[in-house]
């Protein structure tokens, strides 16, 4: 395909997405209005599935034992490109689409991470590529992965374990944010555990010698980990929360439990540190004459970056247009006011970009990756996907400048304002998937980089052996 043909193909992809604007915006709004938390996103999942079925995709749901996980495929020829869409909400984040803190229902969930836009934006990209395959302008297949439970439980890890990504050549994905940039960095791998200690209850004053305190074990375990902390690599993170510390001061606690998260840049390091934490739990049980049960509840890989795909994404950002209507611009300005000083957030940008963003409500000009060679202090289940197939990632500006994820402002922006960035993301995804289908060299380059970066590390699912996500999450 000549460069000129490729450019006209991309313009037609953008035109398809523009012609579907109302349908996509309505879907994003519907999901925003019925926020559902991890593993319970049945309506949101069905909302996306129904559009894909209408478009002629083959849809298979319930992937890897997760009811809301699905794979929608169009075409049965090689090459195969994919994109992912998340759609879970966050507990307690309920908020109206207003520029002041105002929950729809206090304590109810809300889309604080913009996943309503995430799912529909990726779907828009898949839909445009599907039309191009249908019209004979592209050869190959396109797959949309409906990936639930990103915020808790790691839905993608179950999909990976079920082999959902096995026959895909490359995947392009995004996440809402406040600027437009490809991702070139990584993040932390992690393991999650619940440690439950069993002792003996007894009257704490009358017969303490008959009791064995499970809470003592939790306290000693936490103290042991605090002493361990000095001797772990700087980038490692260990956090805990006591889930059950007994029920009354005059009863020796017979049962107590604590939840742990162990994170580090390398998967191997996480496993080494997790083993150390488990040894400390066993030692605390020995000291207190209690029994300890360790349950691993989740595990994730860090992201394996792919610069070949990030560069293709960056180039397509220059071709995709970003347009805000007057109403969106006005709401962005009102919302930006409520954020106050965002100097800390601006620090992610280069000096010249910082100047341009400082006085803007929305920063829509694409910029280069801000995370090159950086290991971000977060974890995502996209990491496991990136260890199984070359994955290109980017962020798009759905929120006003400096908006933190998981804030009420992010929820408010996700209802309507954020659909501008969502459409931009759909364009970038469609154009990059088209590049991957049309350009054998790009596919080969992305694959070679994947092989080089993953060399010497065999991917093994970090999930506990027979993990049932519903059991682990409803703990």
Q: Which residues bind Zn ion (CB under 5 A)?
A: 113
Nearest residue (CB) to Zn ion, 129 versus 189: 189
Q: What whole-number distance in Å separates Cα of residue 388 and Cα of residue 170?
A: 10
CA 357, distance to chain mean position in Å, is 25
Task: Pick the closer one to Zn ion by CB: 113 or 309.
Answer: 113
Q: Cα separation of 138 and 120, whole Å? A: 22
In the complex, least distance from residue 36 CB atom to Zn ion, rounded to whole angstroms? 14
The residue ranges of DSSP E strands in 286-421, in sequence order, are 291-300, 375-376, 391-397
- Number of other residues whose CB lies within 10 A of the CB of residue 171: 28
Q: How far is the CB of 175 from Zn ion (least distance, A)?
A: 6
Closest distance between Zn ion and the C-beta of residue 85, in Å? 12
Joined tokens for residue 47: 């909302």
A 10 A CB-CB count for 208 gives 11
**369 C-beta neighbours (distance < 10 Å), count:** 21
By beta-carbon proximity to Zn ion, the closer residue of 189 and 217 is: 189
Closest residue to Zn ion using C-beta atoms: 113
Residue 113 vs 129, nearer CB to Zn ion? 113
Q: Which is nearer to Zn ion, 94 or 141 (CB)?
A: 94
* Separation between Cα atoms, residue 425 and residue 444, nearest integer Å: 24
Tokens at residue 353, please?
A: 């970009």
Rounded to whole angstroms, how far apart are CA atoms 362 and 365?
A: 9
Pairing of strands 170-177, 391-397: parallel
Measured between alpha carbons, how far is 153 from 381 in angstroms, rounded to an integer?
Answer: 9
Helix (H, G, I), strand (E, B) or coil at 75: coil
Measured CA to CA, the distance from residue 410 to residue 22 in angstroms comes to 21
Between CA 243 and CA 345, with CA 93 as vertex, the angle to 5 degrees is 100
Distance CA 417, CA 177 (A): 12
């Amino acid at each position: 395909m000549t460069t000129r043909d490729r450019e006209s193909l991309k313009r037609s992809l953008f035109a398809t997405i523009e012609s579907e604007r109302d349908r996509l915006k309505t879907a994003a709004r519907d999901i925003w209005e019925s926020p559902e938390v991890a593993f319970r996103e049945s309506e949101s999942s069905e909302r996306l599935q129904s559009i894909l079925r209408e478009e002629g995709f083959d849809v298979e749901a319930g992937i890897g034992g997760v009811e809301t996980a699905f794979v929608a495929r169009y075409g049965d020829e090689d090459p195969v490109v994919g994109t992912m869409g998340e759609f879970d909400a966050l507990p307690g984040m309920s908020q109206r689409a207003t520029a002041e803190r105002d929950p729809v229902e206090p304590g109810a969930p809300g889309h604080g991470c913009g996943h309503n836009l995430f799912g529909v934006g990726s779907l828009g990209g898949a839909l445009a590529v599907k039309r191009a395959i249908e019209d004979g302008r592209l050869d190959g297949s396109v797959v949309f992965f409906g990936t639930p439970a990103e915020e808790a439980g790691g839905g993608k890890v179950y999909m990976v374990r079920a082999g959902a990504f096995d026959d895909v050549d490359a995947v392009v994905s995004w996440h809402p944010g406040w600027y437009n940039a490809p991702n070139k960095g990584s993040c932390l791998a992690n393991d999650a555990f619940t440690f439950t200690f069993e002792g003996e209850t007894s009257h704490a004053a009358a017969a303490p010698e008959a009791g064995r305190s499970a809470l003592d074990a939790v306290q000693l375990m936490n103290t042991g980990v605090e002493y361990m902390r000095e001797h772990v690599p700087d980038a490692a993170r260990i956090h805990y929360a006591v889930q059950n510390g007994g029920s009354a001061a005059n009863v020796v606690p017979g049962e107590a439990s604590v939840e742990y998260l162990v994170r580090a840049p390398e998967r191997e390091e996480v496993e080494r540190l997790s083993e150390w934490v488990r040894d400390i739990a066993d030692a605390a049980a020995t000291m207190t004459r209690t029994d300890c049960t360790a349950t691993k509840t989740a595990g994730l890989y860090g992201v394996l970056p792919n610069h070949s795909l990030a560069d293709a994404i960056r180039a397509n950002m220059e071709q995709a247009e970003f347009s805000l209507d007057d109403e969106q611009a006005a709401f962005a300005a009102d919302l930006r006011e409520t954020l106050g000083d965002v100097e800390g957030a601006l620090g992610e940008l280069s000096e010249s970009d910082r100047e341009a963003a400082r006085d803007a409500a929305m920063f829509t000009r694409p910029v280069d990756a801000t995370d090159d060679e950086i290991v971000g202090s977060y974890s995502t289940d996209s990491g496991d996907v990136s260890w199984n197939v070359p994955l290109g990632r980017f962020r798009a500006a759905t929120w006003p400048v400096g908006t933190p994820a998981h804030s009420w402002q992010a929820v408010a922006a996700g209802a309507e304002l954020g659909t501008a960035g969502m459409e931009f993301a759909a364009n970038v995804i469609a154009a990059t998937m088209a590049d991957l289908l049309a350009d054998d060299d790009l596919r080969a380059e992305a694959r070679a980089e994947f092989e080089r970066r993953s060399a010497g590390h065999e991917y093994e699912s970090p999930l506990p052996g027979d993990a049932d996500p519903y059991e682990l999450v409803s703990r």
